[in-house]
Amino acid sequence: MKYDVIVMGSINMDMFVYVDDFPNYGENMLANNFETLAGGKGANQAVTIAKQGVKHTFLGAVGDDDFGIQMIKLLNEMNINTDSVIQKENTTTGTAVGIVDETGENTFMVLPGANAALTETDIQQALKDLDSKVFLLQMETSRASILEALKIAKNKGMYIILDPAPETGIFEEALAYADLVTPNRQEAEKLTGITINSVEDATKAAKEIAKLGVKNAIVKLGAEGSVVFESDKGAVNFVKANKVKAVNTTGAGDVFAGVLASLLSQEDIDLVEATEIASAGSALKVSRHGGHEAIPTKEEIINYRN
């Protein structure tokens, strides 16, 4: 089966309890509200890709519990192709449990569950008959699954976008397979040891990352924008972020990666132009309340840019 994008990554059930103030250690208290949301970087990126109308499949894992069934249902409601989502036996679905106080500050714990249980064999079987132009992945599934997927995608000649989030020890090993990496400021700092306080610092970091063995690096700088370094052209471009009133910055990078992957699979598009469109998509997400429902469609991004 041939797709435009295969996106691989984490699937989590996010549960949030809303309180006035964080409890003290050992304290019991009444909460104001409770919310469950579909999350995980992989799922966020898959929703973004589905909303760009691109032919895709999502490779990930859920457990054989009720959350797993709910997650598949939620992903299907978002028009995501879940044919490649694996159900792992005797495993819990990835779960994030968080507390949010009145100021919006949050503390949460993540149980990786099925995401961490993905094996090399799972990936080999899932990708056996699949092909695509672009392969997008991040670092929230098991080390074995990431490295195996990278090897197979590279062998099949896919264009590999690696979003090194969260930054983990395997980045340098993984980098050798990627065509494009998209770290945020903190990830780029950890990867290079360079403190990033300016576009110049980000440029230095992007060049350092490219030296580690990848052609293209985009260093994302939140509300400032992003630096695009294309080593084959020796070109550095700064793409300014769109000015919006930020109400929820969660998932900005996931929307960025999803739009970028969709565009690069569709058109012979320049990386800088694709970054401009991805930035507009992220800005729209940041300006809205909510989770997956707040991720913009292709049409919304086009209208926003006109």
Applying CB under 6 A, the residues found at the interface with ligand ADP are 165, 184, 220-223, 225-226, 241-242, 244, 246, 249, 252-253, 256, 279, 282-283, 286
SS3 94: strand
Between 8 and 259, CB nearer to ligand ADP:
259
| Residue 265 and residue 5 in contact, taking contact as beta carbons nearer than 8 Å | yes
Q: Annotated catalytic residue: which of 122, 163, 254, 270? A: 254
Token pair for residue 237?
């471009």
| Residue 87 and residue 61 in contact, taking contact as beta carbons nearer than 8 Å | yes
4 is catalytic: no
Between 85 and 241, CB nearer to ligand ADP:
241
Q: Please state, in angstroms and rounded to a whole number, the distance separating the CA atoms of residues 22 and 161.
A: 38
Minimum CB separation of residue 162 from ligand ADP in Å reads: 13
For the packed helices 41-51 and 66-77, what is the interaxial angle rounded to 10 degrees? 20
Phi, psi at 236, each rounded to 5°: -115, 130
Q: Please state, in angstroms and rounded to a whole number, the distance separating the CA atoms of residues 285 and 64.
A: 32
Q: Peptide bond preceding 166: is omega within 30 degrees of 0, i.e. cis?
A: yes
Minimum CB separation of residue 231 from ligand ADP in Å reads: 20
Minimum CB separation of residue 6 from ligand ADP in Å reads: 20
Minimum CB separation of residue 181 from ligand ADP in Å reads: 12
* Burial grade of 109 (CB within 10 A; 0-12, 13-18, 19 or more): exposed
Between 198 and 249, CB nearer to ligand ADP:
249
Task: Give the active site residues.
Answer: 254
